[in-house]
Amino acid sequence: MASSKDFVQFVTEQCGGAGEITARKMFGDYGIYCDGKIFGLICDDRFYLKPTEAVRPLLRTVEMRPPYKGAKDYFYIADVDDRDYISLLVRKTCEALPMLKPKRTRM
């Protein structure tokens, strides 16, 4: 089951306090980005956040699930209604993730 565009739009709006949020279709579901850095996935109308130790203590409930069969576990975020909370989680996740590698120019 793929994610609905309405759910993807809702989650991107909820994360908006963290920076410029975009979602890109990937294999029928979506990768979700903040300022160009991928921080999570939306699969089957569920929101998953890359696991970082910086975010773990901030979670109301720590639930790890694979977003799709064969994937590594991500934090599953069931409550996406609190915009301030979701934006905080996204901001702290992105701070903990490695910097983006500069794109190589082709000659």
| pLDDT tens digits, one per residue of 46-97 | 999 999 999 999 999 999 999 999 999 999 999 999 999 999 999 999 999 8
pLDDT at 1: 63
pLDDT (0 to 100) of residue 27: 80
Check residue 106 and give its pLDDT.
Answer: 72
Contacts of residue 58, defined as CB under 8 A and 6 or more positions apart, other chains included, come to 88, 89, 92
Distance of alpha carbon 104 from alpha carbon 19, whole angstroms: 24
pLDDT tens profile 1-47 = 678 999 999 999 999 999 999 999 988 799 999 999 999 999 999 99
Token pair listed for 11: 């989650």
pLDDT reading at 100 higher than 80: no
| Model confidence band, residue 99 (pLDDT cutoffs 50, 70, 90) | confident
DSSP secondary structure letter of residue 32? E
pLDDT (0 to 100) of residue 107: 66
CA 98 to each of CA 25, 67, 77, 84, 93: distance values in angstroms, whole numbers, following the listed order: 22, 21, 22, 23, 10
Contacts of 27 (CB under 8 A, 6+ apart): 68
In DSSP terms, which residues pair with 23 in a beta bridge?
32
Beta bridge mates, 46: 43
